[in-house]
Amino acid sequence: MDAVAEAFEAYRKAPVDPALRAGDHALALCRFDEAVDRYDEALRHPSGRFPDAEGRGRAEKLLALAREARAEHDVQVGLIDARLAENDIAGGLLALGVARRRFSRSVPLKERRDRVESAICDRFASPRRTVEGDLRKAAFAEARAYLDQVASLLGVPGARRLLRKFAGDEAVLDGTTVARLRASVDEREALHTKLQAAIEEAVGAMDFPRARDAMEEYQNQFPCPGTWSG
C-alpha cells in the first residue's frame, strides 16, 4: 500500500502538461470532445513541455482512445434515440443499459435515461387500465400491440425495478396476467363482432325493437364513438 501511495504522489508531482491533465479529467467524465481538444492541445505544444518521450507517447495514445470512445459513444446514443423515435421503449431501455456499462458518467446518456424512464412512467404505469380503455374503444389491434410492448419491456433487465419505482406492483405483470389480458382482447373482439352482426340482422329483418336492444348493449360495451366497423 505504501508503494502505491508513493507512486501516486510521484505522478501527482510530475511536471505533466496542464492540458494533458485536463484531458485525463475530461476522459474520465466521458466528456470526449473536451478530452480530444485537450490532448490535441498538449501535443501541439513544443516537446519540451513533456518530461520525456513517454509523456508525448501517452498523449498520442490517449488522443486516439478519446476519439475512438467518442465515436462509439455517439453510435450508442444514436441507437437509443432511434429506438425511442420508433416508440420502442423496451429497445431504448436495453440499448441504454448496454451503453451505460461503458459510459456510466456520460451526460447525454443521463439525459436519455431520464427520457426512457419518463416514457416508461407515462406509458406503462397502468397496463390493465390502458388495455381496458382500448377495449372500450374497440381498438383491438392497439390493445394487442400494447401488450406486446408490455411483454417486451418486462423482459429487459431493470425494467421491473423501474416499474415498481414509478407505479408500484400494479405495473409489474407476470406472464399469466399478460396471457389473461390477451385472452380478454380476443373475447371482447368476438363480442364486438357478435353485437354488430345482431344489429345488422335485426335491421335487415326490420325488427327495430331487437335492433334497439342490440344497439344499447353495443353502446354499453363499447361506449366510445367511431367503433363501428360494419
Mean pLDDT estimate for the chain: 86
Chain position carrying cell 366510445: 224
pTM attached to this predicted model:
0.76
Q: What is the pLDDT of residue 13?
A: 57
**Residue 104 main-chain phi, psi, to 5 deg:** -65, -25
Tens digits of per-residue pLDDT, 53-90?
667 788 889 999 999 999 999 999 999 999 999 999 99
Local confidence band at 131 (pLDDT 50, 70, 90 cut-offs):
very high
Best-predicted range by mean pLDDT (16-30, 137-151, 191-205): 137-151
Residues 173-214 have pLDDT tens digits of 888 999 999 999 999 999 999 988 888 888 888 888 888 888
Report the percent of the chain where pLDDT is more than 70.
86
- Is the model's pLDDT at 1 over the cut of 50? no
If one counts every other C-beta atom within 10 angstroms of the C-beta of residue 81, the result is 15
Question: CA separation (Å) from 82 to 101, 184, 227?
Answer: 19, 32, 33
**What is the model's pLDDT at position 4?**
47
pLDDT band at 165 (very low <50, low <70, confident <90, very high): confident
Q: How far is CA 131 from CA 48, 107, 140, 146, 171, in A?
A: 70, 35, 9, 8, 12
pLDDT of 99-111, one tens digit each? 999 999 999 999 9
Mean pLDDT, residues 34-58: 76
Task: Enumerate residues 6+ apart whose C-beta is below 8 A from 192.
Answer: 138, 140, 218, 221, 222, 227, 229
User: 49 pLDDT exceeds 80?
Assistant: no
What's the pLDDT at 201?
87
